[in-house]
Structure 1
Amino acid sequence: MRSVLIVSALLVGLSGCVKSNSSNTTSASLAQVSEQALSAAEVTNARANYTNYCGGCHGRELETFVNRKWQHGDSPEALFKGIKHGYPEQGMPAYATTFSDPEITQLVSFIRQGIVAQKEKPSTKSNATVHRSEKLNFELEKVVTGLDVPWAMAFLPNGDMLITEREGTLYRFTQNKELQKITGVPEVLAQGQGGLMDVKLHPDFSKNNVLFLSYSAFKKEGGQTLSTTAIMRSRLEGNTLTDQKQIFEAQPYARTRHHYGSRIEFGRDGYLYFSMGDRGGTRENPQNLTVHAGKTHRIKEDGTIPADNPFVNRAGAMPSIFTFGNRNPQGMALNPETGQLWLHEHGPKGGDEVNIMQKGANYGWADVTYGIDYNGSKISDLKQKAGITDPIKIWVPSIAPSGMAFVTGDKFKNWKGDLLVGSLSFKFLSRLEVDGNKIVKEERLLQDIGRVRDVRVSPDGYVYVAVENPGVIYRLVPVN
Structure 2
Amino acid sequence: MSLSRNKRVTVSAVLLVLGLCAGALTRADYRIETVTGGLEHPWSLAFLPDGRMLVTERTGQLRLIDAQGKLQAESIAGMPTPFVATQAGLMEVVLDPHFADDPWIYLSYAHGDIDANNTRLARARLVNNELRDFEVLFTAQPAKAGASHYGGRIAFLPDDTLVLTLGDGFDWREQAQNPANHLGKTVRLHRDGSIPDDNPLRGQQGAAQEIYSLGHRNVQGIVYDSARERLYSHEHGPKGGDELNLLQAGGNYGWPLTSFGVDYTGAMVTPFTELPGYLPPQLHWTPSVAPSGLALYSGDRFPLWKGDLFVSTLAEKSVRRVRLEKGRLAGEDVLFQELEERIRGVYDGPDGALYLLTDSAEGRLLRVVPL
Is residue 210 of structure 1 aligned with residue 104 of structure 2? yes
- The corresponding residue for 2:349 is 458
Is residue 133 of structure 1 aligned with residue 25 of structure 2? yes
- The corresponding residue for 1:240 is 130
- The corresponding residue for 1:13 is none
- The corresponding residue for 2:289 is 399
- The corresponding residue for 2:231 is 341
Within the candidate set 453, 457, 471, 2:363 is matched to: 471
Is residue 383 of structure 1 aligned with residue 270 of structure 2? no
**1:82-121 equivalence runs, <5 A:** none
What is the distance in 2 between the residues matched to 1:312 and 1:136? 52
Identify if the C-alpha distance between structure 1 residues 448 and 425 changes in structure 2 by more than 3 Å, giving closer, same or farther: farther
Gaps of 5+ in 1: 1-131
**1:271-290 equivalence runs, <5 A:** 271-290=161-180
What is the distance in 2 between the residues matched to 1:337 and 1:367? 33
- For 2:107, give the aligned amino acid: L
What is the distance in 2 between the residues matched to 1:328 and 1:436? 28
Identify if the C-alpha distance between structure 1 residues 155 and 327 changes in structure 2 by more than 3 Å, giving closer, same or farther: same
What is the distance in 2 between the residues matched to 1:148 and 1:171? 10
In terms of mean alpha carbon deviation, does 316-325 or 168-177 score higher?
168-177
SS in 1 for 2:45: strand
- The corresponding residue for 2:194 is 304
Identify if the C-alpha distance between structure 1 residues 453 and 283 changes in structure 2 by more than 3 Å, giving closer, same or farther: closer
8 Å CA contact 1:336–1:406 kept in 2: the answer is no
SS in 2 for 1:284: helix
- Shift of residue 290, structure 1, vs aligned partner: 0.7
- The corresponding residue for 1:187 is 81
SS in 1 for 2:177: coil
Is residue 257 of structure 1 aligned with residue 147 of structure 2? yes
- The corresponding residue for 1:76 is none
SS in 2 for 1:179: coil
- Shift of residue 438, structure 1, vs aligned partner: 2.5
Identify if the C-alpha distance between structure 1 residues 356 and 215 changes in structure 2 by more than 3 Å, giving closer, same or farther: same
Is residue 167 of structure 1 aligned with residue 59 of structure 2? yes
SS in 2 for 1:421: strand
- For 2:356, give the aligned amino acid: V
- For 1:201, give the aligned amino acid: L
CA displacement, residues 387-438 of structure 1 (integer Å, 9 cap, x when unaligned): 0101111100000001110110211111101111111001011111012342
8 Å CA contact 2:115–2:146 kept in 1: the answer is no
Larger radius of gyration between Structure 1 and Structure 2: 1
What is the distance in 1 between the residues matched to 2:141 and 2:171? 13
- For 1:453, give the aligned amino acid: R
**1:24-35 equivalence runs, <5 A:** none
* Higher-strand-fraction structure: 2
- Shift of residue 134, structure 1, vs aligned partner: 5.1
Paired positions, count: 344
- For 1:468, give the aligned amino acid: D
What is the distance in 1 between the residues matched to 2:30 and 2:365? 16
Provide the TM-score with structure 2 as the length reference.
0.90
- Shift of residue 193, structure 1, vs aligned partner: 0.5
- Shift of residue 168, structure 1, vs aligned partner: 0.1
- The corresponding residue for 2:213 is 323
What is the distance in 1 between the residues matched to 2:69 and 2:27? 31
- For 2:128, give the aligned amino acid: G
- Residue identity (%): 40
What is the distance in 1 between the residues matched to 2:94 and 2:182? 21
- The corresponding residue for 1:146 is 38
Identify if the C-alpha distance between structure 1 residues 136 and 436 changes in structure 2 by more than 3 Å, giving closer, same or farther: farther
Provide the TM-score with structure 1 as the length reference.
0.70
What is the distance in 1 between the residues matched to 2:27 and 2:101? 38
SS in 2 for 1:207: coil
What is the distance in 2 between the residues matched to 1:340 and 1:416? 16
In terms of mean alpha carbon deviation, does 293-302 or 134-143 score higher?
134-143
- The corresponding residue for 1:313 is 203
Q: CA RMSD in A?
A: 1.4
What is the distance in 1 between the residues matched to 2:186 and 2:151? 9
Gaps of 5+ in 2: 1-23
- For 1:154, give the aligned amino acid: A
In terms of mean alpha carbon deviation, does 411-420 or 274-283 score higher?
274-283
